[in-house]
Amino acid sequence: ECQEQFQAAIDLSLSTLALLGNPLPKNPSPLRVIVTVLAFMKRAKKLSDEHWLSLPIMTDPLKLAAMEIHGIFFSLVFVCDGTERLLPLCAIRMLQVTLRHGLSFAAPFAMAALAMVASNMEDIDTACRFANLATKLSNLTFVGKNWQARTANLVTSFAIHWSSPFSQLLPTYVSNYQYALSTGDIVAAMHLTSAFLTL
């Protein structure tokens, strides 16, 4: 029953994104996912950190709404069985919108999600670079604490453990866990706990 509720929420998110002009495929083929990821990763690597940080601020209300829905959608497919292929496509779509329409509150989270994708591809250097960039983006004044907590969750869980010794990770996990709880982001706090226990 829980999975059915998650699937219903995913379907609603997909319908909403389509109405906002940002459709995602419901059942993408593995080949489509691979081609999309490799093409965007190649493009993203060529862009400097300064390029990302100097993008204008997003003002289009429909695009801002789409970014909000994308963030919710990402969390849904993260925990729902059988929807894993949508994760990288969601992250990439958020960053495509960012490049076209500017930075938003969700840009750091999207960059951290791309770092997670790179980490899963075992491209550790790229994962660490995008994780550091996500942290820089999360410090921009218009990024709320809830999005900072969600960004820290992905950065901590999927990237920095590749480049930092375990002794340095514990305080970071505890700090980000407490930060997630302070913003009311129980999902991020649970993910951080799960990630720490699997180190």
Q: Please state the rounded mean pLDDT for residues 54-60.
A: 97
Residue 182 has pLDDT above 70, yes or no: yes
Question: Lowest-confidence range among 9-18, 41-50, 172-181?
Answer: 172-181
Say how many domains are in the chain: 1
Exposed/middle/buried for residue 169 (C-beta within 10 Å: 0-12, 13-18, 19+): middle
136 vs 84 pLDDT, higher one? 136
CATH number at 73 reads 1.25.40
Residue 141 has pLDDT above 90, yes or no: no
- State the average pLDDT over residues 20-45: 95
The residue ranking higher by pLDDT, 45 or 83, is: 45
pLDDT score for 1: 58
Q: Which domain holds residue 144?
A: 2-197
Q: Is the dihedral of CA 153, 160, 157, 132 positive or negative?
A: positive
Confidence of residue 75 (pLDDT cuts 50, 70, 90): confident
Model pTM? 0.87
* Confidence band, pLDDT 50/70/90 cuts, at residue 110: very high
DSSP 3-state assignment of 57? strand
Give the integer Cα–Cα distance in Å for 45 and 42: 5
pLDDT reported for residue 18: 95
Query: What is the 3 state secondary structure string of 125-189?
Result: HHHHHHHHHHHHHHCCCCCCHHHHHHHHHHHHHHCHHHCCCHHHHHHHHHHHHHHHHHCCCHHHH
Q: What are 144-169's pLDDT values in tens digits? A: 888 888 898 888 878 777 777 767 77
